[in-house]
Amino acid sequence: MIAKTDAAGARGLLPEVLAFTSSLSQDRALLAEDLVGSLAHLHMLARCGIVARDDALKIHGALVDLWTRAAADLWSPQGEEDVHMAVEAELTRALGEVAGRLHTARSRNDQVALDLRLHVRAQAAGVLETLGALLSKLAELAAAEVATLIPSYTHRQRAQPVSLGYVLAGYGAMLARDVDAFAFALDQADVLPLGVGAISGTSLPIDREVTRGLLRFARISQSGIDTVGDRDFALDFAYATCRCLLHASRIATDFVDFSSSEFGFVKLHGELACGSSMMPQKRNPDVFELIRGKSGAAVGNLTSLMVTLKGLPGGYNRDLQEDRGPVLASGPLAKGVLGMLRVALENVTFDHQRCAQAASDGYTQATDLAEALVKRGVPFRSAYQMVGTLVREAQRGGVALSDVPLALAQSVDPRFDAELLAAAKPDEAVLRKETPGGTGPRSVLAQVEQLRGAAARAGRLAAATPALDHLFHALKERPL
C-alpha cells in the first residue's frame, strides 16, 4: 500500500515512510505562525503583480477561514508531512488549482524558517513578560527585607552576615542578566527569512521588504544558502532558556534548604507546601524541588538542538526537522517555571528571628573585624592572623565573636579595644558595607532600583513585540 499526501499531487510515500518523516504531530503547534506568514506572503505576491487580485482574494478568504475554524477547534492539520503541506492541502480542497498560487516564490525551507522565527520571537516576548513580573516581585521582597539579617554562604558554610534584601537582590541580579539573554535571542530571531526560496532565491520579481514590513521584522536575512540552514536564533533562545532555568534552579535550591528544619529561615504557606502520603507532619517544598528538576529539560533541549546542528553541511537538510521538539518546548517551559517561582515567592514567610540568630551565631564577622584593624593601619595579613587567633580562643571558650570579652581579645593582641570589637556585631558589619554591590542598606536599595529597571526593560521589550493574533487581524483587514 502506498500513502499519498493530498498536497503532493502524484507523489506517494510508503505509509511507514510518511509516519517516520512526518513532523505534523509537533509542528501543528506552528499553525498560527504558518497562516500569518502565508497571509503576508500572499499580500506581497499580489502587490508585486505575481498573483492576480481575484485569485489573491480567494486565497485570502480561505486562509482567514482556516484561522477561524482552527480557533474554534473545527479544523486541525492532519494527514500530511507537516503543517505547511496540511494547510496547502486544505486550501486546495477549498479552492482547487487556485490554491497552488500561494506557494509561488516560496519553499518549505524558507517557510519553516519563517514559522520558527515568528514562534521564537513571540515566545521570547512572553518569557520576558514573565521574567519582568518575577523581577518585580524580587525587587519588592528585597526592599521589604533590607533590615533583616541572615548569614551568607560559601561552600555551603556560613560566611558573613548580610541583609536578607541583599540575598534576594542577588537572585534578581542573575535574572536581570537573563533579560539581556532573551533580549539578544529576540533580536536574533527578528530577521525575515522568507523570500530566499529553497536555497538560491527566486527569479520572480518579489519584494522582500514588503513582507518584512507586513510581519514587522527588523531586517531581512543576508544569504539564502545560510538562511535555510540557520538555526542560530533557535540556539540563542534555547540557551537563554537553559541559563535562566539554571538560575531558577539555584534559587529553588536555596529555598529547599532554607525551608528545612536545619535552616528554618523560611516557612511555606499551607497552600504552597505539599504533604506526605505517609508522614502527616511533613510540609514539603515540592514546588521548589520541581523548579529545580524541570531545569534539566532546558539543558536537554539545548543539548539536543546543538547535537542536531553539529556537522550539518551548508544549505537545508532534513535533520533540521528535529529542531521542533526543543524549540517548541522551550518557551512554555520557561514561562511555566518562572511563573511558578513568582507564585512560590509570594507564598513564603521569612522567620526573622531565626535568620538573625543564625547571622549572630558563630564567627561570620571575622572579616569585618580584620578590616576594622586595617583601618587602624594594620596590614591585612597581620590583621587576618590576629583575628584568626582570636576566633580560635573564642571557640575554645565557647564564646561568640560578637560577645568576646575585651580582656580575652587583648590577651591575643593589645591592639584590640572596645571600639574595634564593636565591628564584630552583625548589624554593624552589615551597615558598614555601603560600597556598590555591597550589603549595606543604601547599596541594597540601589540594587533594588536596578532590578526594577531590568523588570521595566523586560516589559517594554515584550510589549514592543508584535503578537501573532495582532499580525493576523492587521493582515486580515489590509486591502489586497
Give the active site residues. Answer: 155, 276
Q: For the range 357-362, what are the long-range contacts, defined as Cβ-Cβ under 8 Å and sequence gap of 24 or more?
A: 358/150, 358/151, 358/158, 358/263, 358/265, 359/149, 359/150, 359/151, 359/161, 359/162, 359/426, 360/149, 360/161, 360/400, 360/402, 360/426, 361/400, 362/151, 362/158, 362/400, 362/401
DSSP 87-132: HHHHHHHHHGGGGGGGGTT--HHHHHHHHHHHHHHHHHHHHHHHHH
Q: How many Cβ atoms sit within 10 Å of the Cβ of residue 386? A: 19
Dihedral of alpha carbons 211, 213, 214, 216, sign: positive
297/13 Cα distance (integer angstroms) = 34
105/114 Cα distance (integer angstroms) = 14
Q: Which residues contact 255 (CB under 8 A, 6 or more apart)?
A: 266, 285, 288, 344, 348
* Bridge partners, 161 (sequence order): 151
Contact assessment for residue 452 and residue 172, using Cβ atoms and an 8 Å cutoff: no
Contact assessment for residue 468 and residue 36, using Cβ atoms and an 8 Å cutoff: yes
DSSP 386-415: HHHHHHHHHHHHT--GGG--HHHHHHH-TT
CA atoms within 13 Å, Cβ hemisphere of 312: 23
Cell triple for 401: 565573636
Contact assessment for residue 244 and residue 131, using Cβ atoms and an 8 Å cutoff: yes
Cell triple for 177: 542578566
> Nearest 5°: phi and psi at 379?
-55, 145
CA-to-CA separations, 464 to 302, 328, 381, in angstroms, rounded? 27, 22, 54
Dihedral of alpha carbons 374, 380, 385, 388, sign: positive
At residue 387, what is the residue type?
A: V
51/98 Cα distance (integer angstroms) = 10
Query: What stretch of H or E contains 149?
Result: strand 149-154
At residue 56, what is the residue type?
A: A
Q: How many Cβ atoms sit within 10 Å of the Cβ of residue 407? A: 8
